[in-house]
Amino acid sequence: MNSHLSPQQIAKWMIGERAPSEEQHVRDCPQCGAEIARLQSALAAFGGAVRDWSERQTVVKPVREGRGVRPFRWVWVAAGALLLATAVPIHKLEQRRELERARADALLMEQVDIEVSRAIATPMEPLAKLMTLDESNETTSH
């Protein structure tokens, strides 16, 4: 690997997705190794801060009657709105696909009907033309 790791490769590295060539590059390249170490250190510090914060938040606060659900009401409203916003276009898309399938089926049935109602099958038409030419020649020669 000639160049340094791209931001995408570094992001994948941080979540554990790494190719053997990338691992070798990080071992050999001081700049990429330092970048990975810096990011790992920052994530470890962030994780520690989150754990400290969550430990401080475990103090149970008294819930006033009827007020425990209100802070999350907007979450439920937003989730419902999102569900409706995605359900309607999906339903319309399914209706459109069903209509397209029905049109394609109707066209196919029309083509089948045309082929079935023919007096002579399409592959046999050249032979039928020869037969009509022979019959017309026989009538003119009598």
Question: What pLDDT is recorded for position 31?
Answer: 92
pLDDT in tens, 73-96: 777 777 777 776 766 677 677 888
Return all residues near 29 (Cβ < 8 A) that are at least 6 apart. Answer: 4
pTM: predicted TM-score of the whole model, two decimal places: 0.38
State the CB neighbour count (10 A cutoff) for residue 10: 17
How much is the pLDDT for 111? Answer: 85
pLDDT at res. 103: 93
Task: List, run by run, the mean pLDDT of 10-residue segments along the chain (142 residues).
Answer: 81 85 91 89 84 74 56 72 70 83 90 76 76 64 56
